[in-house]
Structure 1
Amino acid sequence: MVTIQEALRIIQDQKISLKSELKPLEEALGFALETETIAPFDVPEFDNSAMDGYALCGLFQEYQLVGEVAAGDSKEIELKDGEAVRIFTGAKVPEKATAVMMQEKTSVKESTLYLDEMPRVGQNIRKKGGQLTEGQTVFEKGHLLNPPSLSLMGSLGLEALEVISKPKINIITTGNELVKPGQPKTVGQIYESNSFAISGALQQFGFQYHQKTQIKDDFDATKVGIKRALESCDVLIISGGISVGDYDFVKQSLEENGVNELFYKVFQKPGKPLYFGRKENQFVFALPGNPASSLTCFYVYVLPLLHRLSGYEKNGLTTYQFPIKHPFKNTFGRPSFLKAAVIDGNVEILDGQGSSMIRSMAKGNALAFVDDGETLNDGDMVRCKLIS
């Protein structure tokens, strides 16, 4: 058995190899860049108007209107002192323009423009290269592509990006008692739910599973199911069958399939019977079968490795500290990740901390870490991982 810190260190110390691929811009959200991006030209490429209004030559309060420039126009208008043109947002500003005055602060009579206030040099003009200059680094390697990133990449004319591939993930659930939702069940059976929690958590953080399989508590079936799953994945996540019961065959089946155990059992609650192993460049997590334990282990241990395999700079959920709203003592006998709710900057430990109780986790938004035997009073700071 290992401590929480030892388990996290073992996962973090794993040497990994990253893969890359070319992704269309519209499919690149949530991927990390494989290479540094360099600006191929200035952004903006030309001085342009930040407003619908009038481009002015010189600093006056009256101007003679001599034309119009719309966004996308390529024509050149040479202004003289005291002249102005109607201009629209994004349109190229004439070379000798001093400022742009927004239309709300103007009035026009015949061909004369009147300003409500004196303009300032450079007012409402987006200068050439004001955001990026040609040859400047736009994003470093490993930058996580969010919607603004995609917008900027699109403005550079890039239709596809070289990104770090995300790991291919397979899911196995085990248990004779499990029945797929929508199917009839008998007394003693329950509906399978952990695969929905795991696949939902994957989707929440921008991952997708490749294959999902349900296996009975049978050694041969478990061994064959694991063998097949390992043929098509980088990470295998197994739920159930990893404890020490007579029908728990996962650990032995992993050994038979050449998976090397890196740790088994963590001194924590929930999720003590957690397994982590490796076969060459493939990784295996065998999570406890109880729903809250399974999902807690995913957030704390699986997610950091998925982030690393995707080239992310950040690994796993960020830990924050919040004051607790009520006294609490950890009497569970182990360091504990507790279902909690952070509301208005304060954390509340929720009822229903049992490993099988998923409703309290669904109603909360955090995992609060409280050490074995730790006593907390009102206002004491608690370490929390926000899960939603």
Structure 2
Amino acid sequence: MNIKIALEPAAGDCGGIGAERKALLSFDDAVATAVATAQPLSGSDRVDLRNANGRVLSRDVHASSALPRFDHSAMDGFAVRSCDLSGPGPWTLPILSTMAAGDGIREASALPGMTVEIYTGAPVPTGFDAVIVREKCRRLGDTVRTAYLPKVGENIRKLGEDVAPGVQLASSGTLISPHVAALLAASGINVVDIRPRVRVALITTGSELRRPGEALQSGQIYDSNRYMTAGMLSLPWIEFTDLGHLRDDPGAIRDALQMASQEHDVVLTSGGMSHSAADHMRTALEACNARLEVLNVAMRPGKPATVGRVGRALFIGLPGNPMAAAVVLGQIGLPAIRATSGFRQHSVDWYPAVAGFDYRKREGRTEFVPVKVIGRDEMGLPVLARLGRGSSGSLLPMAVADGFAVLRPERIHIPEGTVVRYEPFGS
């Protein structure tokens, strides 16, 4: 779906308001379109597993052997043959030997009624089918006495019960988390194939912006979006570059876009996405022959969200207002960047929660409300307090919030006690 950039309202459009409403994409459609606009990176890097945390697998990984690799004891205790524990207990069993983790697997050579003292992780000698924990036994010299009758297989981790040989351990597009790395390491894998880092460039625009620490003149403000964006994209699978701040100069913005799109996979901009005469980003995009697929979204905040392609790069235009920029980057931008990296899953994690507030909103738009968890209901669901008035320029509510409550477009009134979608920050 190609959307032509309209710099001026059409004749007879009464200011373009009606046309703008018709052009609004639903939030769900905007996310789906942004993800579809992304082009997954090709190529693969081969790295040591120790250096792969937080990277994205480029190939499926399969188990070359079973996990566990042999039957072993899950507890410290005594290995027994359940058939020896017949009749009324307690039973007294001679101790044949002791087995510790790292010992080789031994064939059973015990006479009937014997036991093996065994430690956690030690191979279970062939012929023994249960382990009685040490706390249920009493050692008397070279014998052990117990009144406990175990089930067959009790406290034994069986060969292959976790992973069978040939099973897929992780698929292409999986993020290598510490838990995935542990599974691969346990399977003897020390080298993995990963996707290249996504090269993301940020261009910040706005003649009114200054760096924190610089002196402000009348009408100027400090640039917060650069720091917010850099923090949100500080991820192992992203190579982030801040290309600096530009004044509202259409030619300079055009040149920066052209250069960035040649050297990066994703170009992010902050500010200048509205339709006013002082917002030059759309003019610069048109000069670069950009193809925009998302252009204005039925969401609050973040309506001027823009996604498309400029040159060879994915383009994501963030609004200048900080809360709007954070919502667009987290909700639309990051799923598209994840798709560029080749992630299997693009969506944001969310959980059900209960509104601890009463709120009315406009029908037809998805709203993102900063919230704080103030307790749990009787079912254990988080209870959320709404913070601030939802202004797209607000920073304090977002800074102290635990996450966003996402209010669906068909809802107008959200009474207290309504179950809503909750997206905690950092999920």
Matches for 1:56-67 after TM superposition, within 5 Å:
56-57=80-81, 59-60=84-85, 61-67=91-97
Matches for 1:1-388 after TM superposition, within 5 Å:
1-5=23-27, 6-14=29-37, 16-19=39-42, 20-57=44-81, 59-60=84-85, 61-74=91-104, 76=106, 78-80=108-110, 81-203=112-234, 207-217=237-247, 218-279=249-310, 281-318=312-349, 320-330=351-361, 335-343=366-374, 344=376, 345-364=382-401, 365-369=403-407, 371=409, 374-388=412-426
Could you tell me how far apart the structure 2 residues matched to 1:110 and 1:380 are? Answer: 66
Could you tell me how far apart the structure 2 residues matched to 1:333 and 1:67 are? Answer: 74
Could you tell me how far apart the structure 1 residues matched to 2:99 and 2:194 are? Answer: 39
Q: Is the 8 A contact 2:73 2:121 kept in 1?
A: yes
Shift in CA distance, 43/172, structure 1 to aligned 2, threshold 3 Å: same
- Report the 3-state secondary structure (helix = DSSP H, G, I; strand = E; otherwise coil) of the residue aligned with 2:339: helix
- Report the 3-state secondary structure (helix = DSSP H, G, I; strand = E; otherwise coil) of the residue aligned with 1:297: helix
Could you tell me how far apart the structure 2 residues matched to 1:99 and 1:353 are? Answer: 61
Count of residue pairs the alignment pairs up = 387
Unaligned runs of 5+ in 2: 1-22, 86-90, 377-381
- Report the 3-state secondary structure (helix = DSSP H, G, I; strand = E; otherwise coil) of the residue aligned with 1:64: strand
Q: Is the 8 A contact 2:233 2:240 kept in 1?
A: no
Could you tell me how far apart the structure 2 residues matched to 1:49 and 1:230 are? Answer: 58
How much does 1:239 deviate?
Answer: 0.6
Could you tell me how far apart the structure 1 residues matched to 2:252 and 2:38 are? Answer: 31
2:291 aligned partner, one-letter code:
N
Shift in CA distance, 320/157, structure 1 to aligned 2, threshold 3 Å: closer
Could you tell me how far apart the structure 2 residues matched to 1:216 and 1:136 are? Answer: 52
Q: Is the 8 A contact 2:38 2:336 kept in 1?
A: no
- Report the 3-state secondary structure (helix = DSSP H, G, I; strand = E; otherwise coil) of the residue aligned with 1:251: helix
Shift in CA distance, 134/322, structure 1 to aligned 2, threshold 3 Å: closer
Could you tell me how far apart the structure 2 residues matched to 1:51 and 1:173 are? Answer: 59
2:161 aligned partner, one-letter code:
G
Could you tell me how far apart the structure 1 residues matched to 2:311 and 2:78 are? Answer: 66
Q: Is the 8 A contact 2:77 2:133 kept in 1?
A: yes
Unaligned runs of 5+ in 1: none
How much does 1:183 deviate?
Answer: 3.5
How much does 1:131 deviate?
Answer: 1.6
Could you tell me how far apart the structure 2 residues matched to 1:270 and 1:93 are? Answer: 61
How much does 1:209 deviate?
Answer: 4.3
Q: Is the 8 A contact 1:336 1:372 kept in 2?
A: no
What percent identity do the matched residue pairs reach? 27
- Report the 3-state secondary structure (helix = DSSP H, G, I; strand = E; otherwise coil) of the residue aligned with 1:268: strand
Could you tell me how far apart the structure 2 residues matched to 1:111 and 1:373 are? Answer: 74
1:127-150 alpha-carbon deviations (Å, 9 max, x no partner): 112222222333344444332221
Cα RMSD for the two superposed structures: 2.7
1:76-126 alpha-carbon deviations (Å, 9 max, x no partner): 363312222222111111112232222122222221122241333322111
- Report the 3-state secondary structure (helix = DSSP H, G, I; strand = E; otherwise coil) of the residue aligned with 2:297: coil
